[in-house]
Structure 1
């Protein structure tokens, strides 16, 4: 069983997957920062200075000592609410990530198509070969 596990781990696909997961995690951090620190402030500015990350709909009662407008404090206190601003941010983050992955896959597909080996020149067809064999047998 240990040998099978070693063979499984030694396969290129498993190593590639591990590298992909690690790079994907780091890349998700970058796209999260791009969304939260660059894109959402611009979107907020376009909509008149609105900070989408703290937009929510309150569903439950507010505990004493927690500000009714502090999304982070309300969330920490466990107040029932719909954080649609955080959801909008997550959707934009996903769209950015999906777009970048699409562009990467598209670029890789173009490189793979260019590097594809040229097909071998077509030789005589099966019919041509059989005709040639028949003709040779008739000569004998």
Structure 2
């Protein structure tokens, strides 16, 4: 069983998948930072201070021991207050759309490069089947024996 497991792990597909997952995790972090630190502030600035993270609906009471802001989503969530955080959902959706668009651009670019590579690749003539070559040699030999040059 150990040998089968080693063969499975050492397959190219599994290694490629592992690399993709690791790079995907790093890429997600970059995309999240792009959205939270660059795009969302610009969107907020364009719409007059619009901040998606502050949009939520409180679904339960705030504990009596809570001393923080009643409009701070992160602090309320940490205090255990049940919240319907639709602003956070909007942010995550924008993250997803940005990530999907970037992946689309990468795949599109790779497909264009592959298409160009296929166009530039010289066409190698297919080798004739051995039976055709053999029949041609027999024909030529028979012609040579008869003295026929057709």
Q: Is this a same-fold pair by TM over 0.5? A: yes
Could you say which residue in structure 1 is the equivalent of 2:147?
Answer: none
Residues 84-123 of structure 1 correspond to what in structure 2 (within 5 A)? 84-116=86-118, 120-121=124-125
TM-score by length of structure 2 reads 0.75
Q: Which moved more, 1:19-28 or 1:71-80?
A: 71-80
> How far, CA to CA, are the matches of 1:123 and 1:72 in structure 2?
69
Structure 2 residue 45 is matched with structure 1 residue 45: yes
Instruction: Tell me how far 1:41 sits from its aligned partner.
Output: 0.6
Could you say which residue in structure 2 is the equivalent of 1:81?
Answer: 83
Residues 1-140 of structure 1 correspond to what in structure 2 (within 5 A)? 1-64=1-64, 65-66=66-67, 67-116=69-118, 120-121=124-125
TM-score by length of structure 1 reads 0.80
Instruction: State how many pairs are aligned.
Output: 130
> How far, CA to CA, are the matches of 2:8 and 2:123 in structure 1?
33
What do the CA deviations read for 1:62-83 (whole angstroms, capped 9, x no partner)? 2122431121111012212211
5+ residue gaps, structure 2? 140-150
Instruction: Report the RMSD for the aligned CA atoms in angstroms.
Output: 2.5
Q: Which moved more, 1:106-115 or 1:19-28?
A: 106-115
5+ residue gaps, structure 1? none
> How far, CA to CA, are the matches of 1:8 and 1:114 in structure 2?
34
> How far, CA to CA, are the matches of 1:3 and 1:122 in structure 2?
40
